[in-house]
Structure 1
Amino acid sequence: MTGAAFEEIVEDFEFLDDWEDRYRYVIDYGKAMDPLDDALKVPATKVDGCASQVWLHPKIEDGRFSFDGDSDAMIVRGLIAVLRALYNDLPVKEVPQVDAPEQLGRLGLNDHLSAQRSNGLRAMIERIRSVASEAA
C-alpha cells in the first residue's frame, strides 16, 4: 500500500551503504520540497511532540489525501518529504491503514533516529492518521 515515490526511496536506500549518505539523501529530499507558505504556519497546523518546529497542512481532494509540510530542522524537513512520498495521493480511507513504522523500517530509519526525532516522527504520523480518519 505504498506509492511509486516511496518505493523509489526504498530502492535508492538499498544503494546507500553508509548512514551518512542516507542522512544526506533525506536532507536533500527535504530541500527539494517546496516550502510551506508562511500563512499556513499557524497553531492549527503545528505538530506538538516534535523537538523542532513542524507544520503539516493536509488536503483532501476527490477522496484522496495529501499534505504539505515544513520544519525549521533540515533532517525533519526530509522526514516530512519521506512521509509525503508514503501518504500523498492515497485514498483517504487507506491512510489510517498504512503501517508507517513497518514501511519506514524498510529504510532502517527506526534504528538511526534519536529518541526525540523518533517521537516527532510518531507525532507527525499520528496527526496524518487522525486527519485522514476524521475525513473518512
Structure 2
Amino acid sequence: MAQDRFEDLVETFEFLDDWEDRYRHVIELGKAFPPLDDALKVDATKVDGCASQVWIHPRIDGQGADATFDFAGESDAMIVRGLIAILHELYGGLRVGEVTKVDARAELARLGLNDHLSSQRSNGLRAMVERIQATATAATG
C-alpha cells in the first residue's frame, strides 16, 4: 500500500546498516522538511501525546473519499521533525479514503524504527499517526 516515495525510503534504510546511520538519516530528513509557518502553530494543529512540541496542519484537496490528503508539520525536536517527514512520505498525496487503510505500524516497522525509538518517541509517533488518520476519516464525510 505504500507509495513509491516511501518505498524509496525503505530501500535507503535497508542500505544503512547500523542504527546510528539511520538515526542520522532521520535527522537529515527533518532538516530538509519545509518548516511550518508560525501562524499555523496553534492549539488546533498541535498534536497531544508527544514529548516535544509537534504541529500537523492537514491540507485536503477535494471532497469525500477521493479528496487528496497532504499535510505540513513541524517539531521543536529534529528527530521528531524527521519522523514527520517520514509520515509525509507515507501519507502525503494519498486519497483520504486510502489514508485510513495504511497500516502505519507495519510500514514504519520496515524502516526498523520500532526497536530504536524511546517509548516517548514511539507514543508521539503513534499520536501523529492517529491525528492523520482521524483527519482523513473526518474528511471522507
Deviations 1:1-43 (A, max 9, x none): 1111111110001110111000000110111011000000000
Confirm or deny that 1:5 pairs with 2:5: yes
Of the candidates 61, 72, 80, which is equivalent to residue 76 of structure 2? 72
Distance 1:97 1:18 in 2: 30
Name the counterpart of 2:123.
119
Deviations 1:78-99 (A, max 9, x none): 0000000000000110101100
* Secondary structure of 1:109's aligned partner: coil
Alignment match, 2:96: 92
Q: Tell me, what secondary structure is at the counterpart of 1:56?
A: strand
Report the alpha carbon displacement of residue 54 of structure 1 after superposing the two structures with TM. 0.0
Paired position in structure 2 for 1:58: 58
Q: Decide which of 108, 117, 120 is 2:112's aligned counterpart.
A: 108
What value does the CA root-mean-square deviation take over the aligned residues?
0.5
Distance 1:14 1:102 in 2: 15
* Number of aligned positions between the proteins: 136
Structure 2, unaligned runs of 5 or more:
none
Q: For the residues of structure 1 that align with 2:10 and 2:96, how far apart are their CA atoms?
A: 23
TM-score, length-scaled by structure 2: 0.95
* TM-score scaled by length of structure 1: 0.99
After TM superposition, the runs of 4+ consecutive aligned structure 1 residues lying more than 4 A away are none
1:69 Cα deviation from its structure 2 partner: 0.2
